């Protein structure tokens, strides 16, 4: 069965006071619409169409080409938005369509899957995902019939006193029989105060036609929360973070404090790892077991092996091996691989480089575009001078190489296994295996030069 998803993502960030599409605003570093797509795919629905608006190009750039797109050039309601995906729906006749809001990031794959199970079991033309909340003010109420099926959805402004007391609300997430949705869409009218086409009218049309509408209640009411203001977005961040930290702690991760801690939804952490305050773990980041992270560590789209220690450092799109010690104040830039048991210390920067196991780069060093072997030692102030103003070149350093302080390795250059380089040298030619390279001017002493110069 080729089920599909339509995600309503045409909203602008007007009430957020930002010049970007609302669905691209991040929750724990991940755009809201990406949360929604991840949940749909985890529930087994791969084919997706995003309904985008004026910021469509921006959404496409962020989400990519793994989904289809339809454009809602005028924002004339949720029903009108789904109408723009008619061709997409036609390609999925005979199946079922999941409709989701792109600014409701907390809806889980489990809730989506449970709703689909109810949808099939009850033979519904449409199944609404609902939630029971303490304060339903402002939400559409779910009015059920005597059998427990959906009778109608009543908006706050249209509800009478009894209906306002109903605590079950509409989440704006639905499962439709695709054929039933296609049948109802052209019949939706805009004879309302706003002159808009509402998707909830499709449910009413199906009910009038004698079709069954059901309701599946989310176990966690927080899942249906959306964000229309910065304050609501902050509330989503807090709720999402609490749930994620709880999940990691249940798996044996220790947080010594929550201040400044941010852990993204796609991050994995091995048991026994300790996360200290101020640490931000973002994107596709994976930590091994028994690591110590922080305080004030930032890791994005990176992998860290077992037992590694990372203090007050930034790691981007890179790999750090087992038992490595990083920081404080180390910056590992994209496309770097740091071997096991390496030590990178104060104010070391590594970019697009491979550092072999057991190598020590203790302080004040830049290693860019380099391939460094195992068990090397870099003294203070070493620089791989990889850029000539036009092109970048690589430096190759073999195993067991000792590089003294304040050495410049002018790429392209190779230092072979076991070589030593004297402090203060600027190396412009290859250094043979087990050799000592000295590349500095001979020291000259001029006796009494200072006194003579002052007298003159």
**Enzyme catalytic residues:** 363
Cα within 13 Å of Cα(241), Cβ side: 20
- Phi first, then psi, for residue 60 (nearest 5°) are -60, -45
Closest to 29 measured CA to CA, from 285, 254, 330, 227: 285
Contacts of residue 208, defined as CB under 8 A and 6 or more positions apart, other chains included, come to none
- Provide the 3-class DSSP secondary structure of residue 169: strand
Please return the burial class of 43, using the count of CB atoms within 10 Å of its CB with bins 0-12, 13-18 and 19+. Answer: buried
Cα distances from 148 to residues 212, 215, 357, in angstroms, run 11, 8, 64
Q: Which helix (H) or strand (E) holds 414?
A: strand 413-415
Pair of tokens at residue 336: 């770097």
Note whether 214 and 124 are within 8 A (CB).
Answer: yes
Contacts of residue 408, defined as CB under 8 A and 6 or more positions apart, other chains included, come to 382, 383, 385, 425, 426, 427
Question: Alpha-carbon Rg of the chain, whole angstroms?
Answer: 30
Interatomic CA distance for residues 158 and 147, integer angstroms:
24
Interatomic CA distance for residues 184 and 336, integer angstroms:
54
């Amino acid at each position: 069965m080729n089920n599909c998803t339509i995600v309503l993502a045409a909203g602008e960030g007007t009430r957020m006071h930002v010049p970007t599409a609302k669905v691209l605003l991040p929750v724990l570093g991940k755009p809201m619409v990406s949360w929604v797509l991840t949940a749909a795919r985890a529930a087994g629905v791969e084919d997706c169409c995003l309904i985008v608006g004026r910021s469509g190009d921006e959404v496409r750039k962020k989400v990519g080409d793994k989904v289809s797109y339809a454009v809602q050039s005028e924002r004339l309601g949720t029903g009108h938005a789904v109408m723009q995906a008619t061709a997409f729906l036609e390609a999925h006749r005979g199946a079922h369509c999941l409709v989701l809001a792109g600014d409701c990031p907390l809806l889980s794959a489990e809730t989506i899957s449970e709703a689909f199970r109810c949808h099939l079991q009850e033979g519904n033309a449409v199944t609404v995902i609902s939630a029971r909340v303490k304060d339903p003010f402002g939400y559409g109420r779910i009015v059920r019939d005597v059998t427990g099926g959906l009778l109608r959805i009543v908006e706050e402004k249209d509800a009478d006193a009894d209906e306002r007391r109903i605590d079950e609300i509409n989440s704006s997430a639905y499962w439709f029989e695709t054929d039933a949705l296609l049948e109802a869409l052209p019949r939706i009218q805009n004879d309302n105060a706003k002159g808009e086409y509402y998707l909830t009218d499709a449910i009413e049309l199906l009910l009038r036609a004698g079709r069954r509408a059901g309701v599946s209640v989310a176990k966690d009411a927080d899942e249906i929360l959306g964000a229309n203001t910065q304050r609501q977005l902050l509330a989503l961040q807090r709720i999402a973070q609490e749930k994620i930290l709880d999940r990691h702690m249940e798996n044996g991760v220790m947080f010594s404090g929550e201040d400044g801690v941010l852990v993204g939804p796609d991050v994995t952490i091995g048991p026994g790892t300790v996360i200290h305050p101020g640490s931000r773990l973002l994107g596709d980041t994976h930590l091994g077991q028994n690591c110590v992270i922080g305080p004030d560590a930032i890791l994005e789209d990176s992998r860290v092996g077992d037992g590694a220690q990372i203090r007050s450092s930034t790691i981007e799109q890179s790999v750090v091996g087992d038992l490595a010690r990083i920081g404080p104040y180390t910056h590992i830039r994209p496309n770097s691989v740091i071997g096991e048991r390496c030590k990178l210390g104060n104010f070391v920067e590594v970019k697009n480089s491979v550092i072999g196991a057991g190598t020590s780069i203790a302080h004040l060093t830049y290693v860019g575009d380099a391939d460094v072997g195992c068990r090397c030692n870099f003294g203070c102030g070493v620089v791989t001078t990889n850029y000539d103003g036009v092109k970048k070149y690589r430096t190759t350093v073999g195993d067991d190489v000792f590089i003294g302080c304040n050495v410049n390795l002018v790429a392209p250059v190779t230092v072979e296994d076991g070589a030593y380089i004297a402090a203060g040298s600027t190396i412009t030619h290859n250094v043979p295996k087990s050799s000592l390279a000295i590349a500095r001017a001979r020291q000259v002493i001029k006796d009494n030069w200072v006194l003579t110069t002052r007298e003159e």
